[in-house]
Amino acid sequence: MSDEAGAAPGAGGTAPGLAGAASAPVQLAVSTVILALQPDEAAAGVAGAGASEAGGEAADAAASASDTGEAGPGVAAADGRLRLWLPLVRRIRAPYRGLFALPGGPLPPELSLEEAAAFTLRDATGLVPGYLEQLYAFGRVHRGQAPAPADDAEAASGSETASRASAEEDAAAERVVSVVYWASVPSAQAAQVLEEENVRWFPVDRLPRLAFDHREIVDYALTRLRAKVEYSRVAHSFLDEEFTLAQLREVYEAILGRSLDPANFRRRVAASRAVIDTGRRLTGTPHRPPRLYRYDDSLAFADSAPPPQ
């Protein structure tokens, strides 16, 4: 947001460069980085048809994967490990026609910022967020004016959903300031999502080339999430109301991208006093049923992270 502020004007004066800029069109948009945890996909771990359409590294990975059709976040894993996924919308108009982008669009005058972010999530996935937080405002002067690659002829026949969800920067001549939210979706809900035309789910480490500065936005959202999970109960938003310590550890491992020692993790959780033993145990397990826990609701979703550079 610091790149949006001009120098403070002197008494009775005007900040340098602002007088002529007042007439330039500025569009306010809202986008949402939607994250869900689901088992990893077999082989390459990319969203099948969506990756091949997007080109780049994701398409190369998809080419070596087994033919799984249009894979979504609930695809079974070869090893069962959880992985972060997010939905992207293929743009059907210039600029960047044919590339994928974050779900988003111009701010409707009748909606608040948070309402618009939640609407974006429902429009792209049909889901209600387990957690929704404002991430940052991205507003570099020329962020919506980069030259687009060659158009994808097939993209022109896209769905109405893609037209709405990917309309964030339709006019390249306009300056677009995007207020970005990030949202989490409980795994049980995400596993039931059916992909629409031009809406695809991708693992966060197998993303295609994204339109505009949306890769920067995704990277910052992941930085925020990884910093936040260390001291807040944000992991709760990916879980059911009650969970085992093993399930909680799997969420941490998926977010942080590394394995955690079970005994050390158990001690850290106990020391944090963030979870409460419900006195119940998980049923239907072949071995001794593990204890079920819930989060202490008095622990807030505290937030702190440095701004993107």
* Residues 191 and 247 occupy one common structural domain: no
Q: Where among 176, 193, 228 does a domain terminate?
A: 228
- Do 208 and 249 belong to one domain? no
String of DSSP letters for 170-234: --TTSEEEEEEEEEEE-HHHHTT--PPTTEEEEETTS---BSTTHHHHHHHHHHHHHHHTTTSSG
* Most confident listed range (3-17, 121-135, 198-212): 198-212
Listed residues 228, 247, 278: the one ending a domain: 228
| Distance between CA atoms of residues 32 and 105, nearest Å | 10
What pLDDT shows up at residue 163?
A: 46
Instruction: Identify the pLDDT of residue 41.
Output: 58
Q: 0.85 cut: is pTM over it?
A: no
| Residue where one domain finishes, among candidates 178, 213, 228 | 228
What average pLDDT does this structure show over 80-103? 92
pLDDT at 298: 74
**Residue that wins the pLDDT comparison between 258 and 231:** 258
DSSP string for the chain: -GGG--PPP-TT---TTHHHHTTS-EEEEEEEEEEEEEEPPSTT-S-HHHHHHH-HHHHHHHHTS----S--TTPPPSS--EEEEEEEEE--SSSSTTSEE-SEEE--TTS-HHHHHHHHHHHHHS---SEEEEEEEE--TTTT-SPP----GGGGG--HHHHHHB-TT--TTSEEEEEEEEEEE-HHHHTT--PPTTEEEEETTS---BSTTHHHHHHHHHHHHHHHTTTSSGGGGGS-SSB-HHHHHHHHHHHHTS---HHHHHHHHHHHT-EEEEEEE--S-SSSPPEEEEE-TTS------PPP-
Q: Are residues 215 and 129 in the same domain?
A: yes
Average confidence score pLDDT of the chain: 75
pLDDT score at 249: 95
In this prediction, residue 147 has a pLDDT band, given cuts at 50, 70 and 90, of low
Lowest mean pLDDT among 49-58, 61-70, 214-223, 285-294: 61-70
> What is the pLDDT averaged over residues 244-266?
94
Does a structural domain hold residue 309?
A: no
User: What pLDDT is stored for residue 175 in this prediction?
Assistant: 84
Residue 205 lies in a domain: yes
181 and 49 share one domain: yes
pLDDT at 173: 53
* Nearest of 251, 260, 244 to residue 294 by alpha carbon: 244
**Pair 171, 240 in one domain:** no
Above 70 in pLDDT, residue 171?
no
Total domains present in the chain: 2
Find the domain containing 259 and state its range.
234-295
**Which has the minimum average pLDDT: 18-32, 89-103, 238-252, 286-300?**
18-32
pLDDT in tens, 243-253: 999 999 999 99
User: Are 36 and 144 found together in one domain?
Assistant: yes
